[in-house]
A and B are shown apart, each in its own frame.
Chain A
Amino acid sequence: MKLWTETLIVLLILTNLKLISSSRLSACIRIVAVQGILLGVVPLLAGQNPLTWRIASLAGLTMILKGMVFPWLLLKAMRSANVRREMEPFVGYSASLIVAAGLLGFSIWMGRQLPMPFAVASPLITPMAVFTIMIGLFAVISRRKAVTQVLGYLVMENGIYAFGLSFAQQEPFLIELGTLLDVFMAVFVMGITIFHINREFNHIDADRLNALRG
């Protein structure tokens, strides 16, 4: 069981690296979809207790929302805006990979600094979660296109969710549902906003939204 969990964690880390180094938006969206599916599998494996309906439904919902609905919404936003690539990000792709390597090291160090007060499925869960959050934040600030920024937000949310998974057994179901619903609504509203930005400006470069200042 532990072997499977750790394989999953390594795969999740790899999805982050792939996300930060691809320029094609559709590839980025797909990799976030893969990340969502993997994230849905984690609670199934990490659970020490026998599989309850609660964990199963949570895992299923995660996979459907993060693995299918969000990517579909974003692909739609991308197609309507008619953008294919993230051209000239603020930080180049090779530089991004180097930054990501640094962040990974930092996350592992952070994981050592913050020991969990109880046993978790794998000691790698906290570093993986911190790394995913950092990559998400990095994508939000280093990319121009509105779609990529939403992807960054999603990845960050995935990282926070992954952290929550390390003790998913204890969180009240209602809260998990509410959180998922909020993230869903956020992506939905952001998607609609991207659609409007594209219609008004003929581009979705968030850095060119700079009329308001002072």
Chain B
Amino acid sequence: MKNKLFRISFQRRKIIAGYLFCLPFLIGFALFFFYSFMQTLIFSFNELQLTPIGYELTFVGWSNYSYALNVHPSFPMDLAAEIGNLAVNVPLILAFSFFTAIILNQKFFGRLLARVIFFLPVILGAGIIFRLEQTDMITQLSLGAAKPGLVFSGTALQNLLLSTRLPEQFLQFIIDAVERIPLIVRASGIQILIFLAGLQSIPSSVYEAADVEGATAWESFWLITFPMLSPLILTAVVYTIIDSFTSADNELVSMIRSTAFTSQGFGVSTAMAVLYFIVIAAVLGLVLQVVSKWVYYQE
């Protein structure tokens, strides 16, 4: 009896601790994310008019949504194109960052330098530096000439490939893939870091045990490294999808943002935002469902 009582209080203590640990985050989250989202949802069913003292809302029902889907010249097509693009890029980014992380986790001369180089795109592509590069016209112009991607996507490679007389669709696919290389390499910085952190979290004793049991490198990769990293593959998938859907240079996001300040108004813009959100949620939900099945969690 006494034992049981103790157990209940212990459980309850754990529950309370759980809530307490979550509390600071929850407050900030409710304030800055959840409330904003609800507000956006409300705006999308209304027409917003600015008045001298603030703003006024007039309820218009689904008309903002039907405008975005039926009247807007490019929104539905852009949305579809975005998803198609994602379907090609995400597997490529993941594969690239996964294997790069495994290489960068090995000991070799100049490893830190290599890691810095592979993290550079994140620094170069983020916030202020990205904007600085954009404001600098000359840099832009000459970067166009010096863009590393052009070395490969230039006519030299295409001519070489065309001279092989392979089927045209196949060649088109290869040329497409090659043109994506710079893009994929540039979008992989954070994923590489996530995988690196994951590799470093695998206790070395597991490998030692496998070694003692006589496992080969190939076996310990597929039976230790891969399952232990699988939760992070999920994380990286989520990050990649979010990153490409919500980054500042995403065309759809900037279109939604600029729509707010055109004649179509804030209501249409928020309706688009909500539709966009639903699409991302659907894509992510689907991916999570599929990938979660392969994830291994250590007990």
Co-assembled chains A and B: no
